[in-house]
Structures are given as C-alpha cells and as structure tokens.
Structure 1
Amino acid sequence: MNFPEDFLHYIWQFRSFDYNDLQTTSGEALKIINPGLLNKNAGPDFFHAKIEIGDTIWAGNVEIHIKSSDWLKHYHQKDSSYENVILHVVYEHDAEIKRMDNTVLPVLELKKRISADLIKKYENLFLTLTDFPCVAQIGRVDQLVIDSFLSRTLIERFEQKTHAVTECLNELKGNWDETFYRFLARNFGFKINALPFELLAKAVPQHIYAKHKNNPHQIEALVFGVAGFLTDQFVEEYPKKLKAEFQFLKKKYNIKPVEISVWKFMRMRPQNFPTIRLAQFAALIIKANHLFSKIMEINEVDRLRSLFENLPVNDYWKTHYHFKKEASSVNTQIGKTSVDNILLNTVTLFLFSYGKHTDTRFYINRAVKLLETLPAEKNAIIDKYVAAGVDVRHAFTSQGILQLKKQYCDTKKCLSCGIGIKILKQA
C-alpha cells in the first residue's frame, strides 16, 4: 500500500470499492445513501453525508484516514468540529476511536474492498518519473473528456490572471485604458524585457503621449529617452534630434529614465532587440489612441490584428538594430506570431477581466471565442502533450494545458483532475 488520504477521498467520493454487504468493524449493516460533499478546507473530509447503520439513518460528516489511529495523531479527539462525524472511513482499522462524549465512532474498513488493479493504476500515475503523470495513458482518453476539463483549467488560468489586472486597476483608480496600456507594454517585452517595458509604462502615462499625438518625433523621443537609450553622444542626425527633444521633455514632465542596464540583448535575435521593440511600441502609440476602447468594439480577429500591423515605424530602423549600429535590412513590423501573442496574453485577458469586473458575460464569451480563433502556442510544454496524443487545436486548448501542467500535473493532483479520474475509472 503506497497512497495518501487523497486516494481514499477519491475512492469514497466515487464509490470505487466493493460496497456489497457493507458492515462496520463492529458488525452492523451499513448502507451509503449519500457519500456527502468533498471538503477542501479545514474540518471533516465530507459534509452532509447520509448513512444508514443498522436500523438508524444518520446525517452528518464523514472523516477519512489511512489508519483509525490517525484520528488521534491529528488530535481530532480534542476538536469539537469533528463531533458531528457519523462514520470513520479507513483503509486499515487499528484502534477504537471515541467521540468527546465517549460514544464509539462507527468505522468502515476498506482494506479488502479496493481492487489491486485500481491501486496499481493509481501508483502508475503517481510514481511515474515522466514529464507528467498520465503521459502514457492520456492518449487513450476521449478528447471530449480532455476538452471538458481543459475548459475548466482555462477559466481557472484567466481568473488567476484577472487578480493582477484588478490590483493594477485599483491602483489606477478604475482607469481601464491606463491599466490596459501597462499590461500591453509588459507584453511588448515578451518575457525577457517585460519588466523594463513595464517600468517604461509607469514612468510615462498615456496622457503625456496624448499631448504630443500630432508630433511623432516627440513620442519617439519620450519612448527612447525614458528607456535610457539617449544618454550617449551621437553622430547620426535622428538620434541627435531625439536626444535634444528628450532633454526638453524630461524637464517639462520631470521624468526619471529607466536604467539602461535593465534591458536585455543577450541571446536574442536582432529582430527582437529591445530597441526594435521600442520603435514598434512608439509607432503603436503614434498610430492608436484609446486602444482599449477600440478593442472592446472589435469582434473579428483580423481587425484586431490590424491594430498592431502596418505600424508607422521611423525609417531609421529599417537600417539599424541599435543606435550607432547599422544593418543592411531590418523588418520593422511586428510578426504575426508576436501579434497573436499580444492578442492572447493581453487582449483576451482584458476582455475576460472586464467581463468579470462588470459581470458582463458578453465580454467573457468574446474572450473565449477569440481564444478558439487564435492558433495554439508552440513551446516545450505543449509539444509534450501533443506527443502524448492530445489534440491541441487552438489557443483555448493550449492555455488550458499550461494551467493543467502547473496546477495539476506538476503537483500530482490527479485525483482533482477530470482526466486523471477518467483514467482511474477506465477498465
């Protein structure tokens, strides 16, 4: 026997044991009318159970342990919240347990009622050293079962992410446009430079850019100046003008630039250098005002993509990856994969968050529909589930898998996972 109490919770909840001619350890006939509701918080393991013992029907709670003596080890005999336990379900009965009023607690022993095959299936899941517990079995699970549980994990993932949106929204006194702008800026950093982009957005709020919406050069000066890239001595005309412009704007708005050391260039393709991303970010600010408001009005994915395409990036960047460093030819536009990354990680998140915040199902449904339209991410985690036989059709599925891996597979919560439960139930 090599399993925790969680396995017995599963056994009891789904009645995955031989429940013919049930008896308590004292020999009284026992019938399970209702196993109760699983409690994941403090207190007895199952609430609101209904059990018939002998000629009496009892309503109350059920506590589950590997051994009866665990009741004493956990000090339940001193906790009044366990006084309403009507049945003690154990794998092995090794001690008589009494309630605080000195009455003996009825016990159901499962040791001879759980099949060896079921225990073996459980051990195959939990003792595996592979990338995730059910890697060898998930390919045999009906895709409808997988999709159903991934729908749950997807919602869990976005609800967790919504907490960060809400915190920022509260900090900005309910300003959705500014909150969206900060998250969008962070997304432009694509993990490696997410933090410096976020610092950039905090240093220069949108309303400052709005004052210069008719002067692209000043917006570019603000972006590169605040990012810390205009401190050198330049020979070329474009950066020299940016530097001069920023000196004026810096004093006007009392701006403190970001430390240039926070920007990462190492192990990056030149196309993804932060200088190119900053040029694209400045161009997006120049192109689009009140971007969040526009996104809330657009349903079609192609129209959403168009907001981030054909950006008016300064021609200087067609021949530069960095100030003082020329290049033969540079693609200054954001690639389709990067645009879809923004739609996935920022746009869908804000549609979902806005829907949750305002209790408007319309926007939540739009977020889900957009996820079903966007292609699935391609990364090492997703690849392993695909190799195991999971059909990953779109971003909805891949986002669900990322949450599945983090919250269930990595922590081996197979008994809380719809896929894991299905595998255990399969013949």
Structure 2
Amino acid sequence: MDKPEFQHSEAFLQWIWENLLFDFTDLKTTCGKSLNIIRQGVLNTTDGPDFTHAALEVDNLIWHGDIEMHVTSNGWNAHDHQNDPNFNTVILHVVTDGSPQPVITQNGSTPYTLNLMPYMSKKLRVFLKGFEDPAALPCSRGVSFISEEAFFKQIEKSHIEYFEKKSNDFLRFYDPDKLPSDAWKYALILSLWDGFGIAHNREPMQETAQQLLEKWSGASVGQGTELAFNIAGIYDDGNDLKWNMKSVRPANHPKQRITEAVKFTALILREPFKNLLSSRSTEIWKTWVEEAGLHRSSRIEILYGTVYLPSIYVLGNLFAHQKLSQHVLSEWKRLKTPIPASLLKRFKSLNLNSSTYRKKLGAIHQLKSYCDDHRCSECFVLKNAIES
C-alpha cells in the first residue's frame, strides 16, 4: 500500500483546519459541490467529532453540525464511527488522500467529503517537505524565515513545561506512607541517584539507592560507600543489577557516580529539614557540592536544575509554602545551565543566535517533545512562519 501524501498526525491536520492554513476560496467536495466555510467549528478535546458547532454552505444550502478529520478516509470505519451515534451530527469528513471513499453515519446519513490536500497553502507545502529528512529539524528546511522572537518564545514555553515534567518525575519517588520530611528526602536521594545514572545506568542506580537507604542507619560516608559498592556488585557477574559499562567514560563510570551519590545522600540525610523550607534553600545545593568536595561540572549543574530545583518546588507545594515555590520557579526561569553542545547541535541549522537556547534546559525538552515528536502544530515557530 502506498504511503499517504500527508504523513503526519491527525492533530497536525486539525491544527491546519482550525487556523485555516489552506486556500478556502474555491473549495469543492469530492462529489463536485461548491463548499464555503462560514465557521470552521470549535476544536473538541473530548470524545466525539473533532470540531463541533461548524457552519458550512454547500451549493447555496447552509449546514450546521460537526466535522470529523482523518488522514485517510478509511479512518472513519477503522475508528468505528459508522456505529457510533455521537457522529450522526457530522456534516463534513475532511481527509488528505487523493481517492477518498464516502462514509456513512450510524443513522444512515452520508456526510460530504473534502480532500484538503490540494488546497493547502504553498508555505505549508514547502514546510511539509522538511519532514522527508528525519535527521533534520522540519522547520530548518521547510521554512524560509524563522522569527528569532517566536523561537525564543517557544523555548521559554518548553522551559516551563520541562520544569513541570521534572517536578512530576520527582513525585514518582515520593512515598506518601512515610513522614513528609522523610518521604521528601528519600525522593530527592532517589532522584539524584537516577540522575547520576543517566544515560546508561538509571535503573541499577535507583535500585542501589533504594537498598542503601534501607540499610543506611547513620552510616558514615565511608561506610555508606562500601555498603553501596556491595549492593551494586559492579564486578560481580552474578549480581542481579545490570550495569552497562560499554563506552562509559571514566568520569561517568558507575563506581565514580556511586561515590558522588553517596556523598550527597549523607549530606541530605544530615541536613535539618527546617533549613530546606527556608528562603535560602536554593543556596544549600552549593554548600553540599563544596562539602562533598565536588567541582561544579556540567552534570552537577544539570542535576541542580533537573532534580534539586523541582524537588524544592514540590516541597513548597506540599507544605503550602507559596513563597518558596514562587522563589524556586523564578530561579528556574533565569537559570543558565552548561548543556553539552552535542545535545543541541541540531538547532545550528536554524541560523539563530545560540544565546537564546544554549543554556536553557527547556531547549532539550523542545527537541525531544516537540521536534522529535513532530508536534509542530503546537509550536510558535511554525505558526509565526506560516501566518507571517
């Protein structure tokens, strides 16, 4: 079976319709009737047709109802809409395949069909070609002009979203059955061990930390390190923990990361909890780094942003300390982190000032959650480029 000409998500197609990013001056249905859009409808975020409360003029007759969209027309039957009474109000089926088949609703009516592909704007068609190279950013080739202001606005959006994601990630380690102070400290320790394990050894680092906390009981740093090595069993082939040693640099070797993580564990367990609830809580991290005898490497700086700040933000929310939460959020917004250039090299093709993203952790989220997932329809960069 040939690939559809429009090789993108239905969400992308919905965005095109919602923003009328096509030539709607001379539309015709697949049965040859003239089609005029009076109102494109309201995007539906729940079950049922994609757009509700639409108004169309078909051959001088006004229709009021809903609109359903699929990349190919067989999506209608594939989603069982022909047996769903929620789709009886559909008046137009919008698709992008060249030979769409007519569809029928549960009550026996036949909505009009519109193949949107021939009417898409030239700018959008040029942009769509950028998807043909999976190694490149779609907008690096498909958009002739990218607004630096729109790009920075998008990075700021991603920066906040990433903070929310990391805050939710922290809560995965929070045990509500423990005392709040213990639960928070344990969650921070587990989150840090997880971070030290990136990218190849997250799971064994987490498991080592969990077992270590069960056996810590006032151990010194030296005792904790020895205990952690025994739990980890790095050189024990029969150990259940699966450590990945392939292509691991010396600085990122599990033995080195465990040593560093144990030092943080001891400092966190020893820190009076009231200090963490104070306005100077964001400064405590620097004290820990110094007391642990660690230099401020890029890994340490990244862990400050992706683990420690979200943990303090969650702490403020848990104890209804709004001032603390807002302080941490402000710290995150102005945070500048030394991100390895290799992680952001794909942005170089945009020919934009690198200072707008080079030290923003949200830039990583932008690549992973927007660019790689082709969520271009939700990105300010594309919207600005096509609507300009």
Q: TM class, shorter-chain normalised?
A: 0.7 to 0.9
How do residues 228-377 of structure 1 correspond to structure 2 at under 5 angstroms? 228=229, 257-261=231-235, 274-275=254-255, 277-284=257-264, 289-290=270-271, 294-298=275-279, 303-311=283-291, 332-354=293-315, 362=323, 363=325, 366-377=328-339
Q: How far apart are 1:340 and its partner, in Å? A: 1.1
**Selected match of 1:17 from 13, 19, 22:** 22
Change (3 A) 1:67 1:180: closer
Instruction: List runs of 5+ in structure 2 lacking aligned partners.
Output: 236-240
Q: How far apart are 1:170 and its partner, in Å? A: 3.2
Q: One-letter code of the match for 1:2?
A: E
User: 2:192 touches 2:303 (CA, 8 Å); kept in 1?
Assistant: yes
Pair 1:64-2:64 in alignment? no
Partner of 1:135: 140
Deviations 1:12-36 (A, max 9, x none): 1111222236565564663322432
Q: How far apart are 1:371 and its partner, in Å? A: 5.0
Change (3 A) 1:294 1:185: farther
Partner of 1:99: 105
Partner of 1:415: 377
User: 2:123 touches 2:143 (CA, 8 Å); kept in 1?
Assistant: no
How do residues 214-233 of structure 1 correspond to structure 2 at under 5 angstroms? 218-228=219-229
Change (3 A) 1:80 1:149: same
Partner of 2:238: none
| Rounded Cα–Cα distance in structure 2 between residues aligned with 1:159 and 1:27 | 48
Pair 1:205-2:213 in alignment? yes
Q: Secondary structure at the match of 2:39?
A: strand
Instruction: List runs of 5+ in structure 1 lacking aligned partners.
Output: 213-217, 230-256, 313-331
Pair 1:389-2:351 in alignment? yes
| Rounded Cα–Cα distance in structure 2 between residues aligned with 1:386 and 1:110 | 33
Q: How far apart are 1:378 and its partner, in Å? A: 1.4
Q: How far apart are 1:142 and its partner, in Å? A: 1.6
Identity of aligned residues (%): 19
Change (3 A) 1:294 1:160: same
Deviations 1:301-339 (A, max 9, x none): 6x3453233326xxxxxxxxxxxxxxxxxxx53334343
- 374-383 vs 49-58, which moves further: 49-58
Q: One-letter code of the match for 2:136?
A: D
User: 2:137 touches 2:371 (CA, 8 Å); kept in 1?
Assistant: yes
| Rounded Cα–Cα distance in structure 1 between residues aligned with 2:264 and 2:120 | 62
Question: Number of residue pairs matched?
Answer: 369
User: 2:49 touches 2:68 (CA, 8 Å); kept in 1?
Assistant: yes
| Rounded Cα–Cα distance in structure 1 between residues aligned with 2:266 and 2:75 | 67
Q: How far apart are 1:62 and its partner, in Å? A: 0.6
Q: How far apart are 1:344 and its partner, in Å? A: 1.5
Q: How far apart are 1:169 and its partner, in Å? A: 1.1
Change (3 A) 1:420 1:304: farther
Q: TM-score, normalised by structure 1?
A: 0.70
Q: How far apart are 1:419 and its partner, in Å? A: 2.5
Q: How far apart are 1:82 and its partner, in Å? A: 1.0
Change (3 A) 1:357 1:64: farther
Point out the structure with max Rg over C-alpha. Answer: 1
| Rounded Cα–Cα distance in structure 2 between residues aligned with 1:280 and 1:112 | 59
User: 2:85 touches 2:107 (CA, 8 Å); kept in 1?
Assistant: no
RMSD across aligned positions (CA): 3.9
Q: One-letter code of the match for 1:401?
A: A
Partner of 2:82: 77
| Rounded Cα–Cα distance in structure 2 between residues aligned with 1:42 and 1:200 | 44
Change (3 A) 1:222 1:47: farther
Q: Secondary structure at the match of 2:154?
A: helix
Q: Secondary structure at the match of 1:204?
A: helix
Deviations 1:255-307 (A, max 9, x none): xx342435677766655555555555555455562376534424586x34532
User: 1:372 touches 1:395 (CA, 8 Å); kept in 2?
Assistant: no
Q: How far apart are 1:382 and its partner, in Å? A: 1.1
User: 2:152 touches 2:356 (CA, 8 Å); kept in 1?
Assistant: no
| Rounded Cα–Cα distance in structure 2 between residues aligned with 1:193 and 1:108 | 51
Q: How far apart are 1:72 and its partner, in Å? A: 4.7
Q: TM-score, normalised by structure 2?
A: 0.76
- 155-164 vs 342-351, which moves further: 155-164
